[in-house]
Amino acid sequence: MSRFLKEAFKSLSCYVPGEQFQDRKFIKLNTNESPYPPSPLVAARAMEAAKCLQLYSDPESAALRQAIAGLHQVKAENVIVSNGSDEVLNFAFLAFGDASHPFVFADITYGFYKVLCDVNDIPYVTVPLREDFTIRAEDYPDSGHIVLADPNAPTGIPMPAEEVEKIVQANPDRVVIVDEAYADFSESDCLSLALKYDNVLIVRTFSKSRSMAGARLGYAIGNEKLIVDLKLVKDSIDPYNVNLMTSAAGIAAIEENSYYMENCEKIIRTRRKTVKKLESMGFSVLPSGANFVFARHPGIGGEQLYRKLKDKGVLIRHFSSERIRDFNRITIGGEEQMDCFFNILDDCLNEL
């Protein structure tokens, strides 16, 4: 760091994304990417947009917001788009959090929430998940704005919408952000709460279920007034946040919705097979509503298995925090990828 970095940032720990190797080929099951490419229309539209890059994108992203609104049967005024869902989370933390408005989230959840609090100087409280890693609604009394990942990360456990609604009702004067990055792989979601309550914000991404991790496109849905707040922040730090190509790609991905929903079905089927196979090998696997599973094996530590697999050319994700250090997060890849993975996993376990 330089001698100019402000004092408050000298101990800042940034978010560490899953490893991305540019040089060596791995079977990559560590960043929850989709094994399926975007539909051909996406690349075609992106190229059309790329021919006119000399012009700014629409700072309102009107066409894209309209397309998203149509997908979810809401109004464009209920939608804000962002450069990845991380960006709209940052807008929300900035808009609503300050020294007297802390954020509350689970002890085991997406690591980015803590980072966003630190970088924006917002206090936070973490609430332990139950022993089985589920969230107890009663643990969220009126003590701060709330952010929930549903399905949760990195456990993959979905939360019934009725349970989320209990939290919303117990916190009428707090914003409840439901980060639904993986909702398309789950049986339920909380979208209806965003229209029913004025304090609910649903965050979504095109990264996973719409095969657009590399395009950076996220969005939030909520009451018009909440969206106005987020837009104020957007226009203050990143007025033209979504580029022309991503915007065109996103509209195409909505037009081709059935292609992506079929891919989600395929991933859910592969997930079922993966869980069965892992269990047959002695793993315990948490219930997953996501495009990954979180699993541990009684015979080998989480980090040890992660390292063994990495040595053999397979990347999965290990987290070192205490409650989950026995586990690994394994992205659901394509059928062939998973066959390779299981062959190599077999080798690892046979070496024990």
Q: Which residues from 167-186 bind a second copy, rule CB under 8 A?
A: 173-175
- 3-state secondary structure string across 164-190: HHHHHHHCCCCCEEEECCCHHHCCCCC
Which one of 116-124, 151-159, 268-276, 324-332 is the stretch in contact with a second copy (CB under 8 A)? Answer: 116-124
Question: Please, what is the minimum distance in Å from the beta carbon of residue 224 to a second copy?
Answer: 9
Which is nearest to 207 in space by CA: 46, 50, 85?
Answer: 85
Which residues, numbered 189-248, are part of the site for a second copy (CB under 8 A)?
198-199, 207, 211-216, 223, 225-226, 228-229, 232-241, 243-246
Instruction: Kindly report whether the peptide bond that precedes residue 151 is cis, defined as omega within 30 degrees of 0.
Output: yes
For a second copy, the closer of residues 241 and 328 by Cβ is 241
Instruction: Kindly report whether the peptide bond that precedes residue 102 is cis, defined as omega within 30 degrees of 0.
Output: no
29, 33, 220, 345: which one contacts a second copy (CB under 8 A)? 33
Which residues, numbered 300-329, are part of the site for a second copy (CB under 8 A)?
none
Question: Please, what is the minimum distance in Å from the beta carbon of residue 131 to a second copy?
Answer: 32
Any idea how long the chain is?
352
25, 55, 258, 280: which one contacts a second copy (CB under 8 A)? 55
Which one of 54-62, 123-131, 155-163, 282-290 is the stretch in contact with a second copy (CB under 8 A)? Answer: 54-62
- Determine the size of the site formed for a second copy (CB under 8 A): 91
Which residues, numbered 278-297, are part of the site for a second copy (CB under 8 A)?
none
Query: What distance in Å separates the CA atoms of residue 135 and residue 132, rounded to the nearest whole number?
Result: 9
Query: What distance in Å separates the CA atoms of residue 218 and residue 81, rounded to the nearest whole number?
Result: 6
Which residues lie across from 27 on neighbouring strands?
A: 314
Q: H or E stretch including 81?
A: strand 79-82
Which residues, numbered 118-157, are part of the site for a second copy (CB under 8 A)?
118-119, 145
Which residues lie across from 79 on neighbouring strands?
A: 221
Question: Please, what is the minimum distance in Å from the beta carbon of residue 64 to a second copy?
Answer: 12
